[in-house]
Chains A and B, each alone.
Chain A
Amino acid sequence: MLLNLVVMVVFCLPAGGAASSGQLLSEPSPGVRGDIQIWSWNIAAASLEKLIPSFQERYPGVRISIDMNGSSVQSRFMLSLSAGVGAPDLSQLQAREAPRYALTGKLTDLTAVARKYERAFAPSFWDSCVQDGRIYSIPWDIGPCAVYYKRSLFTKYGIDPEAIETWEDYVAAGKTLLERSNGQTKMLCLALGGLSDFFEILLQQSGGQIFDAEGRIALYSNETLESLTVIKKIMDAGINANIFPWSFEYFASFKSNSIATYPMASWFGGLMRDYAPDTSGDWGVFRLPAFRAGGLRNSNLGGSVLVIPAQSTQKEAAWAFAEYAMCTPQAQLDQYRDFDLYPALLSTHQDPFFDEPVPFFGGQKVRRLFSLDIDKIQTMNRTTDWMEAVRYIAQALSKWTAGEREAPEIVLAALEEKLSRRLNRPVAPGSPSGKGRP
């Protein structure tokens, strides 16, 4: 907690100190030499590691060491940026946090070399890489969303996944499931204190925002209202299990028959395979339920980007690797095949690989399913305060869902005011809460 505070305040330091040239102006030559260090985490790190041999066929002079460097990668990265020492040549960041880092002015400006890829990625992901018209990061993987379900449970209780088209249908199916299983099987995990992931999925799907394009608070809208209404309906129906996401119980639920579905991002499939390999074949995926018939049935959760710190002395070599790993279809496909990192690079989505049946999901062609309507997912206005705002929202939602669950309008009005006060940002004009001044 304390450390978070330090890191947050360090963000706000004016970009000063050791000035290094923060721009990469020329394409790397095939003869570029270097010894680059990369910070990454988890399967993403393993995925990069596997790309090294094929990369070195193109750039034999570049040596790469990948550092799966444990706890608090992003905090440590921020401290190293601020101090001007100790940052790697290339680092992974959460896509939604990238704007904060770009604002420090301590990332390499990649505009000259990366501009040509502007249309290669879905706009909702590309936009988090751009700050004031300059490009500071390059999209890596994305997290299009759908609902994972357990086939055996759906069959046993007579539920047709194809019939679930709206959240209304989803709640109804959940009630049926609860009834027919005598309360043994819940539709999903949704913990009172762990609502933020689900809320983010709904928010981005609904077209709602936390901030408007000018960075003002714009949480209160019909779209957000709809998102909260879905949460309320699920909770009121009692079809959720109060299991905290990423807890031991949560992972254990893959193997038990207590939970039937997981509305989650594409990378979640990799986790399932890791934790419950013996459930292979028993899983299926159906598209995210829409808010109303015919509405958007996709959203995004997570995803990451790669950045080059301005202090790196090997920017050319670092870019050569980043470009290879992120902007080459084959490299992106390899990462998806082996590590479930869904390619941000749109051209890969045309590959026949996307139409192959996946045995873990009972032979379903889930890759294609996730790719549908990715271009329709809206861009979120992240600002520097995104993570903090989400924290306040999650707190308020916990309090709301744990209590009487009054009308969502009341929650949103109070939340807008709180966000405005805490983040020192005005409420956008036209907000139904009436707090915004035109």
Chain B
Amino acid sequence: MMSRRTRQILLRLLTYVMLAALAALFLFPFYWLLISAFKAKDQIFALPPQWWPSPWRFVNFASTFEKTNIVRAFFNSTVIAAGHCTLALFLCSLAGFAFAKYPQAPGRDKLFAFVLATMMIPGAVTLIPVFVVLCKLHAVNTYWAMIVPGAASAFGIFWMRQYAAENIHNDLLDAARIDGCGEFTIYWRIVLPILRPALAALGILLVIGSWNNLMWAFIVLRTKNMFTLPLLIYLLNCENRTPFELIMAASLLATLPLVAAFLLFQRQFIQGITAGAIKG
């Protein structure tokens, strides 16, 4: 008979082995990306696969900078991700706060149900109407076309509403009102700081989504100077002369900021779950 303690240790060991296997599975594409970015084109496709580049071809990166407008694409991606994230966080938190804390607003529940109902509509259905609207507004091929659509997403509003409902106490709002605070000032100075953990978590999702957005960028960004990173990389594909080594190098460069940003925000994300304005 195994002692309870041995069983626990074995169980834990098994868990770790499985987790390690899963982690390896998920890390493998990154590893492949990393080594491929330093290989020559024929080495990428060599059989049997080369697990370690030799030599390390840093020249792939030099030619990426030389042959593609990747600096501009970095700039575009950054402006769009930052713009979209900021606007979406503002709109979602504002709406989420209002849905959570203004029960007296007429038609609030119906309106909220309506917002939730829009989550049922597959995103693909809206691609064409939104494109048509943007055409009519002459907004195609501008940053706005990437920043504005989807900024007031139902998911974001729902997320914020749930967080606000649980973490913002009416007493706090009443206290602010007694002190003469206007409603927008309450939102700006009291609610927003409390929502920070939720903002950080949603912000991560928004930035990742915006940074990786290929489909919509393909549709609304029409000229090279407006291309974002995913679009630039996608359009390096050519029928039978695709520069895979450049694609790999550019993909690696495009992934790095995201990984860095994620690690940076993740701490706040985890801490934030438990943080709140009123303690005890």
Contacts and interface: CB of A to CB of B under 8 A. Distances in A.
A103 interface: no
A17 B135 contact: yes
Nearest to B237: A71
Interface in A1-32: 2-3, 5-6, 9-10, 13, 16-18
Given A2-B215, A6-B128, A6-B131, A85 B223 contact: yes
A37 to B, nearest CB: 10
B222 A70 contact: no
Contacts of B235: 69-71
Interface string A330-374: 000000000000000000000000000000000000000000000
Contacts of B220: 83
Sorted nearest first, the 3 A-B pairs with minimum C-beta distance are A86-B222, A83-B140, A71-B237
Interface in A64-85: 68-72, 76, 79-80, 82-85
Contacts of A82: 131, 135
B132 A13 contact: yes
Nearest to A87: B222
B215 A83 contact: no
Interface of A: 2-3, 5-6, 9-10, 13, 16-18, 41-42, 68-72, 76, 79-80, 82-87
Given A3-B218, A70-B237, A10 B131 contact: yes
Interface in B220-242: 220, 222-223, 234-240, 242
B42 to A, nearest CB: 15
B267 interface: no
Given A70-B234, A82-B131, A84-B140, 4 more contacts: A3-B215, A6-B219, A9-B128, A18-B138
Contacts of B236: 70
Contacts, number: 65
A83 to B, nearest CB: 4
Question: Chain B: interface residue count, which band?
Answer: 20 to 34
Interface in B119-145: 124, 127-128, 131-132, 134-136, 138, 140-141
A105 B25 CA distance: 51
Contacts of A80: 222
A84 B135 contact: yes
A85 B138 CA distance: 9
A70 B227 CA distance: 14
B238 A68 contact: yes
B123 to A, nearest CB: 10
B101 to A, nearest CB: 39
A5 B132 CA distance: 14
A18 B219 CA distance: 18
A70 B238 contact: yes
A18 B222 CA distance: 15
Contacts of A18: 138
Contacts of A13: 132
Contacts of A76: 218, 222
Contact of A85 (B141, B219, B242): B141
A85 B128 contact: no
Nearest to A274: B240
Contacts of A3: 215, 218-219
Contact of B219 (A17, A69, A79): A79
